Amino acid sequence: MLLQILVNGILMGGLYALMAIGMSLIWGVMNIINIAHGSFIMLGAFTTYWLFAILGMDPFVSLAFSIALLFALGYGVQRYLINYVIRASAFITLILAFGIEIFINNAALVSWTADIRKVQVAYGAANFSLGNYVTIPTIRVVAFLLVIVISIAFFYILNRTNLGRSIRATSQDLDAARLVGVDVAKTYAITFGLGVGAAGAAGTLWSILFPISPIMGGELTLKSFVVVIIGGLGSMLGPIIGGLALGITEAFGTNWFGSTYGNLISFTILVLVLIIRPKGILGGAD
């Protein structure tokens, strides 16, 4: 039983990690807490749902469309909206992100109503067993493997490409980045686009595993925020470690206390991390 709970927690933690990678990237590079992050995840989920419902497209195939569409949306939002207040105080950017969230959520409610929907694929109930102890849904394993692939792709972009070097230079020393010819405005727009693209990918995988609705974004923003805080800013491993830690802890906690205590467990962990290690597990010493 404990092994089954551990496996469930790891698989869920992988999805949490993907949710948080985008928020961590935007926060770490641009110093913006993207309150609208969960709304972008919701848009990714509905992109997959409508492609499945209208065109019959397999949700794993539509993953590429979600990433591309949300990247373009994120690029445009930053370039033509957030960029105008990028040098304002954190409070102003926070309010703007909150306004974007309200707009997206209400537009989705007007367009799609508040009905709960689910991507029902034929292979959704398939599973396999490891011995006589653990039963694993196949769809969750595929989703977890895709999380690993996407995370590796992000790591490669940030650490092995000129774009990644520009992003890291902008994050570390904005003035020095400008002096060596980095187009800061374009780099910020691409960074925001990558973060929102990762949110779109998370939304696709979420729609395969769980029901979706236009009002789901708020909770997912909070989950992503908790994961970022637990893992710590400044490293690609931070969201991964934070996501796995939250997923495993939630799995055991909900098994012992009930599923209604999931959010309480998440925020209890957040408070403990802020008290014991405010910079997160990989955030460095105080």
Q: List pLDDT tens digits, range 226-279.
A: 999 999 886 778 899 999 999 999 999 888 887 777 778 888 888 888 888 888
| Residue 228 is assigned to a structural domain of this protein | no
Residue 20 within any structural domain of the chain: yes
With respect to residue 269, please indicate whether it lies within any of the assigned structural domains. Answer: no
Q: How confident is the model at residue 285 (pLDDT cuts 50, 70, 90)?
A: very low
* 91 CB burial (10 A radius; 0-12, 13-18, 19+): exposed
Contact 218, 44 (CB under 8 A): no
For residues 179-207, give the mean pLDDT.
95
Q: What is the pLDDT of residue 101?
A: 96
| Distance between CA atoms of residues 262 and 211, nearest Å | 17
Residue 6 lies in a domain: yes
Q: What is the pLDDT of residues 8-46, one digit of tens each?
A: 999 999 999 999 999 999 998 988 999 999 999 999 999
Residue 279: predicted pLDDT: 83
Q: Is residue 114 part of a domain?
A: yes
97 within a domain of the structure (yes/no): yes
- Full residue range of the structural domain in which residue 34 is found: 2-216
Place 82 in a pLDDT band, splitting at 50, 70 and 90: very high
171 is a domain residue = yes
Give the separation between CA 109 and CA 218, rounded to whole angstroms: 14
The mean pLDDT of the chain is 91
Residue 284: predicted pLDDT: 53
Give the number of domains in the chain: 1
Do residues 206 and 45 make contact, with C-beta atoms less than 8 angstroms apart?
A: yes
Per DSSP, helices labelled H in the chain are: 2-30, 37-55, 59-80, 90-112, 138-160, 162-172, 174-179, 184-209, 217-231, 237-257, 262-276
**What pLDDT digit, counting tens, does each position of 116-164 carry?**
999 999 888 899 887 777 889 999 999 999 999 999 999 999 989 999 9
Residue 243 inside a domain? The answer is: no
Q: Are strands 134-137 and 127-130 parallel, antiparallel or unpaired?
A: antiparallel
Q: Is residue 54 predicted with pLDDT exceeding 90?
A: yes
198-218 pLDDT per residue, tens: 999 999 999 999 999 999 999
Tokens of 210: 């769980």
